[in-house]
Amino acid sequence: MNGFKKYVTPLLLSFALLGSGGNAAAANLLVNGSFEQPGCSGSCILDTPAKTNFITGWTTFLSGAEYFNMPAMFGGSVAADGVVIVDLANYVYGNGGGIQQNFATTAGAKYRLTFSAGNSRYASRSGDGVIQVKVAGQTVSFNTPVAKGVAVEWSTITYDFTATTSQTTLAFFNEQNPYNNFAFIDNVIVERL
């Protein structure tokens, strides 16, 4: 019996420890959360109906969005994840820009949104901005970090929400003057809690 305990007890303890970490690496419920597909060699302005679905998994709305390769456009700056990012402050038009994605949810279940918000003083911008998020019928606003110089500064933002339907739309948008403000997003993740 002592031999049995000697070998089985550590094995059972291992199973218990592995089982307790169950949701440590939950899967992102979004497609292409870092906007890497299809990619953009420089700057891509997604401002026409033909370009609405250019970024895999995402759809633009309002006046679209800017989609660009961060190191190619902002020397000395990096994306929060990968190399491409979205700027919600589309400089071609002054009426705001946005991007959204639908994903499967369970009504009544809790979820966590995590994303990176960024800003820069590049091209005489103020270095600050606002990112508006609409999800599960709620709209909330988040400030980007205040940039001290041209190099892009990033911060991580989290927001918990409860799904109300089996299909949820996550939308990011900005309605500030794009000649004064940037509103960069990258590394968007939604996980069930």
**DSSP code string of 46-100:** E-SGGGTT-STT-EEEET-EEEEEHHHHSTT---SSSSEEEESS-TT-SS-EEEE
CB contact at 8 A, 167 and 103: yes
The helix/strand/coil state of 142 is strand
- For the chain, give the percent of residues with pLDDT over 90: 74
What's the one-letter identity of residue 65?
A
Domain ranges of the chain: 23-192
> Which comes out higher in pLDDT, residue 156 or 26?
156
CATH of 23-192, one of 3.30.450.20, 2.60.120.260, 3.90.550.10, 1.10.10.10: 2.60.120.260
**DSSP code string of 2-37:** HHHHHHHHHHHHHHHHHHHTTTTTPPP-SSSTT--S
Average pLDDT over residues 117-126: 95
pLDDT at 189 over 50: yes
pLDDT tens digits along 136-172: 999 999 999 999 999 999 999 999 999 999 999 999 9
User: pTM of the predicted model, to two decimals?
Assistant: 0.85
The helix/strand/coil state of 188 is strand
> Which comes out higher in pLDDT, residue 93 or 32?
32
